[in-house]
């Protein structure tokens, strides 16, 4: 394990088919005014909204409605939510939804009493909050981002063509998150597989770095094994509780800071995918899927030993009689086959991306330095071109 590190995660998790029963206990810890943030209505269709409202009413809470949080939440929605939270003296933000609603809740929590422009402060200058934070709780309905147990908060500025994540400190993590795998049964297949791929990608972003023998990498391989196994079952039977619960738990541990301990991390697939998201508003996990293979083929040689290990440990490639490059290639092929099996978007053209858009995409891409190879702008353009 490299360097000094601290591991602490303040989010309390309630997991399982009866997890929502604990909401009542948690609500007792907060004041009377609860802002209920949610998306575009899936929770009204599947009954989760009614269940949450009944609990809030039983606890005597005043509910401030805050629906309409869009996938890839925008800066304008953030301004609107921050104003609403401030004007209503909200004591708790209860985010009921997927990563978009949870991310948005964190941004609102840190913006309601912020005296500067929150977009500039958190997403351009990456400063820490220096104002009162509103506590957040989360009822998760879509699995993938890990937002239920981390400080990540991704906001899109459509006019500036930027989609940027701020990673808040532990004081702005959800205080509690309620994880009932059954709540994810109503997800459309497109969202389910997009979330599954997001999880896989989060693990890879933290796995493809470093040359030391690191416990974090063994944990990562275990998470990937479990995810591939469960994804195949969920694909056949979306209401298989065992598979959906394993996917949900894997998502949380894939991005709650555990597996980046003692490591540098890459995150370039996310930077490429976020640039695509800023220009097209496409579904997060799908943007990652479309750029992954081209990116990994660009860094393969620089990170060859790790790609060999990935092939052997995750995809069970038999190494006998093969060169390292052949083993690594076979691993990537198995990976690509699994992505196709899930039905992920494998080409950027499916989002309407064209050759002419590539310079703009390159301008929107943040270049990271923790992986096996730091790409220059020409290489980034090449990755986008090969992903078309």
Q: Assess 174 for contact with ligand NZQ (CB under 6 A).
A: no
CA 315/CA 214 separation, integer angstroms: 19
Site for ligand NZQ in 61-100 (CB under 6 A): 71-72, 97-100
Minimum separation from the CB atom of position 35 to ligand NZQ (A): 16
| Phi (first) and psi of residue 340, to 5 degrees | -70, -40
Mark residues 263-292: x for contact with ligand NZQ by CB under 6 A, - for none.
-------x-------------x--------
Beta strand spans in the chain (E):
12-15, 33-38, 62-66, 92-97, 136-140, 152-157, 162-167, 176-179
Mark residues 146-165: x for contact with ligand NZQ by CB under 6 A, - for none.
xx--x-x-x----------x
Eight-class DSSP state of 293: H
Site for ligand NZQ in 197-216 (CB under 6 A): 198
Q: Are 109 and 93 in contact (CB under 8 A)?
A: yes
Q: Which of 198, 217, 266, 329 binds Zn ion (CB under 5 A)?
A: 198
Of the candidates 90, 226, 83, 205, the one whose C-alpha atom is nearest the C-alpha of residue 145 is: 205
Q: Is 124 exposed, middle or buried (0-12, 13-18, 19+ CB in 10 A)?
A: middle
Biggest distance spanned by C-alpha atoms of the chain: 69
Minimum separation from the CB atom of position 304 to ligand NZQ (A): 26
Eight-class DSSP state of 64: E
Q: Are 105 and 60 in contact (CB under 8 A)?
A: no
Q: Assess 326 for contact with ligand NZQ (CB under 6 A).
A: no
Alpha carbon 196 to chain centroid, angstroms: 10
Minimum separation from the CB atom of position 202 to ligand NZQ (A): 6
User: Which residue's CB is nearer to ligand NZQ, number 49 or number 315?
Assistant: 49
CA 292/CA 286 separation, integer angstroms: 10
CA 344/CA 195 separation, integer angstroms: 10
Applying CB under 6 A, what is the total number of residues that bind ligand NZQ? 33
Pick the piece of the chain touching ligand NZQ (CB under 6 A) from 41-49, 112-120, 297-305, 339-347.
Answer: 41-49
Q: Assess 46 for contact with ligand NZQ (CB under 6 A).
A: yes
Q: By the criterion CB under 5 A, which residues form the site for Zn ion?
A: 198
Q: By the criterion CB under 6 A, which residues form the site for ligand NZQ?
A: 39-42, 46, 71-72, 97-101, 103, 141-142, 144-147, 150, 152, 154, 165, 183-184, 186-187, 191, 195, 198, 255, 270, 284
């Amino acid at each position: 394990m490299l360097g000094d590190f601290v591991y602490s995660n303040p989010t309390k998790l309630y997991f399982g088919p009866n997890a929502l029963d604990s909401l009542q206990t948690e609500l007792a810890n907060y004041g009377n005014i609860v802002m209920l943030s949610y998306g575009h209505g899936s929770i009204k269709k599947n009954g989760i909204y009614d269940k949450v409202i009944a609990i809030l009413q039983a606890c005597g809470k005043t509910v401030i409605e805050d629906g309409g949080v869009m996938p890839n939440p925008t800066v304008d929605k953030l301004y609107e939510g921050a104003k609403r939270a401030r004007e209503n003296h909200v004591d708790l933000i209860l985010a009921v939804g997927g990563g978009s609603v949870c991310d948005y809740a964190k941004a609102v929590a840190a913006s309601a009493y912020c005296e500067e422009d929150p977009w500039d402060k958190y997403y351009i200058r990456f400063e820490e909050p220096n104002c009162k934070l509103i506590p957040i709780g989360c009822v998760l309905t879509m699995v993938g981002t890990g937002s239920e147990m981390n400080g990540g908060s991704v906001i899109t500025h459509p006019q500036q063509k930027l989609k940027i994540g701020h990673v808040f400190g532990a004081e702005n993590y959800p205080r509690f998150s309620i994880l009932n795998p059954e709540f994810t049964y109503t997800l459309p297949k497109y969202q389910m597989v997009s979330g599954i791929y997001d999880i896989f990608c989060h693990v890879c972003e933290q796995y493809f770095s470093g040359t030391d023998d690191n416990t974090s990498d063994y944990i990562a391989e275990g998470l990937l094994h479990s995810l591939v196994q469960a994804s195949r079952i969920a694909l056949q039977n979306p209401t298989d509780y065992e598979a959906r619960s394993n996917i949900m738990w894997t998502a949380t541990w894939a991005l709650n800071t555990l597996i980046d301990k003692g490591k540098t991390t890459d995150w370039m697939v996310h930077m490429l995918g976020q640039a695509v998201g800023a220009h097209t508003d496409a579904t997060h996990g799908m943007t990652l899927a479309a750029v992954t293979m081209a990116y990994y083929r660009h860094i393969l040689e620089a990170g060859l030993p790790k790609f060999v290990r990935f092939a052997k440990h995750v995809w069970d490639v038999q190494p006998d009689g093969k060169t390292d490059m052949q083993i690594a290639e076979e691993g990537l092929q198995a990976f690509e086959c699994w992505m196709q099996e899930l039905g992920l978007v494998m080409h950027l053209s499916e989002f309407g991306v064209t050759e002419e858009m590539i310079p703009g995409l390159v301008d929107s891409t943040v270049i990271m330095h923790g992986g096996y190879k730091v790409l220059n702008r020409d290489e980034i353009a090449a990755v986008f071109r090969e992903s078309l």
